[in-house]
Amino acid sequence: MRFSVNKLVPELVAAAEPTPSGRLPLSSMDRIAAVRVLADTILVFQQGLAPAKAIKAALSRALVPYYPVAGRIFEPRPGEPEVACTGEGVWFVEASVDCNLKDVNNLERPLLLPKEELIPFAPAEVKEEDLIMMMQVTEFTCGGFAVGTRLSHVVFDGLGAAQFLKAVAEIARGHARPVVHPVWCRDAIPSPPKLSPGLPLPSFEAFNLENSVFDIPSDHIDAVKNQFWRETGQTCSTFDVVTATAWQCRTRAICFDAHVDVHLGFAANTRHLLRGLLPQEGYYGNCVYPMGIKAKAGTIAGSSPVAVIELIRDAKERISTKFLDWMMGETAEEDPYRVPPGYGTLVVSDWRLMGFSEVNYGWGEPIHVTPLNDDSNFVASCIYLSPPKPKQGLRLMTRCCEKDHLPAFHEEMMKFYLELQ
């Protein structure tokens, strides 16, 4: 059955009070070419009372302390974008749909409503790449609603985006101001001497990547943690277990030649490494360092899970040193923010602790959070999410295999389950 979404005309929501004008610099991390994207996300809520009206009013008030978000990105010099605090506002769309959440499986994958119906778009004459944020609230007949957002990765990293959405929600719940005061502070991030932010991205080959979702129960993850403890006398994290599993299963499924290099990439939050430069909380700009691991396909495919986890843990332990060396310009390596192109690269991202699942407009936390940037075919990826309640464990959302390799990938993941029983 096809359902009909009715979108009202987009409107600009400006700050509720006068805010500063002028231009604000962006940090060296914000200016990296890889973040020149709008990140699309949807949060699904079980119930609400006139949520669009309440959230729009809260957004207007949140834009007072977060006044740069109501501005526009401009680029006076190539590779050096800035934020112009114009106060123009955020494009906001009110929408309704003639079904309840159960009819569309709570917007679980695969989406039973088109993505384009759930996220906001600015009017045709507006340059969306200049915008910092857009929001859409879609109300369902059951009283539930979905909040679709598009946020500029130039201005926010994942933690920063969640911090902003939580601020809007706090005001909607009755707070006079956000619990965490926002801090711009972009000039506190050092600019590594060897960084060349204006260089274009390398040429990538496109792949026909397919979406898959796996819910991994806690007891399966715990079984691998216990195995790691027995063999090494050390602990490992859920991230370590799931990353090793996904990387190994994918490598086996694709059947790379044993001598071929395969790459794993993940981003680490570095706020704690800049403690003397940044405040303890409130910074919402990009503050992550990408870590890469290179190994032979035969090693990853043929090793035990414990050995692959050890590779990941070793890389994590090197992050502090590598990041500080990079900041000081003391590394001879190529720009770490450049992902090695090719089908042999897998990038993983952990969304569980970013804070999106804590957004509460007054009617409870979301029953479902998911990113919607699933139209990229250049880099194979896995995203880690909390599964819908009451499930425990981890939801693995993958876009990492082409159609020919997907059945083998599913089979390898099922073997992982069976070997632990």
Residue 296 lies inside a defined structural domain of this protein: yes
Q: What is the pLDDT of residue 201?
A: 47
Say what angle helices 305-327 and 218-232 make with each other, to 10 degrees: 80
Same domain for 222 and 176: no
Q: Which runs of E-coded beta strand occur in 176-280?
A: 209-216, 261-269
Domain stop point among 158, 188, 218: 188
Same domain for 221 and 165: no
Domain stop point among 134, 154, 188: 188
CATH of the domain at 294: 3.30.559.10
CA-to-CA separations, 367 to 116, 274, 353, 359, 409, in angstroms, rounded: 21, 34, 15, 11, 28
Conformational region of residue 128, where left means phi above 0, alpha means psi within -120 to 50, and beta covers everything else: alpha
Same domain for 286 and 413: yes
SS3 of 15-74: the string is CCCCCCCEEEECCCCCCCHHHCCEEEEEEEECCCCCHHHHHHHHHHHHCCCCHHHHCEEE
Residue 198 lies inside a defined structural domain of this protein: no
Closest CA to 22 of 87, 88, 84: 84
Same domain for 137 and 219: no
Same domain for 179 and 83: yes
Q: What is the pLDDT of residue 234?
A: 96
Identify the domain containing residue 326 by its residue range: 209-419
Same domain for 213 and 184: no
Block means of pLDDT (10 residues each) for the chain, 421 residues, are 90 97 94 84 95 98 98 90 96 97 92 94 94 98 97 95 98 96 92 56 73 91 95 96 97 96 94 89 94 95 96 94 82 69 92 94 94 79 88 91 95 77 48
Q: What is the pLDDT of residue 191?
A: 83
Residue 200 lies inside a defined structural domain of this protein: no
Residue 194 lies inside a defined structural domain of this protein: no
Q: What is the pLDDT of residue 198?
A: 44
Same domain for 179 and 257: no
Report the SS3 class of residue 347: strand
Q: What does the angle CA 199 – CA 202 – CA 205 come to, to the nearest 5 degrees?
A: 160
Sign for the pseudo-dihedral over CA of 349, 355, 360, 365: positive
Q: Which residue reads 């590594």 in tokens?
A: 192
Residues 6+ apart with CB under 8 A from 163: 180, 182, 282, 284, 355
Query: With contact defined as beta carbons under 8 Å apart, do 104 and 3 qualify?
Result: yes
* Alpha carbon distance 182, 164 (integer Å): 8
Query: With contact defined as beta carbons under 8 Å apart, do 354 and 162 qualify?
Result: yes
Same domain for 147 and 94: yes
Report the number of distinct structural domains present in the chain. 2
Same domain for 134 and 229: no
Same domain for 224 and 183: no
Q: Is the peptide bond before 110 cis (omega within 30 degrees of 0)?
A: yes
Residue 356 lies inside a defined structural domain of this protein: yes
Quote the pTM value: 0.92
Same domain for 183 and 273: no
- Burial of 103: CB neighbours in 10 Å, binned 0-12, 13-18, 19+: middle
Same domain for 89 and 231: no
Q: What is the residue type of 219? A: D
Annotate 355-392 with b (16+ C-beta within 10 A) or e (fewer): bbbebebbbebbbbbbbbbbeeebbbbbbbbbbbeeee
Residue 368 lies inside a defined structural domain of this protein: yes
Domain stop point among 159, 188, 217: 188
Residue 328 lies inside a defined structural domain of this protein: yes
Residue 197 lies inside a defined structural domain of this protein: no
Q: Which residue reads 């079904």 in tokens?
A: 99
Backbone angles phi, psi at 401, to 5 degrees: -135, 145
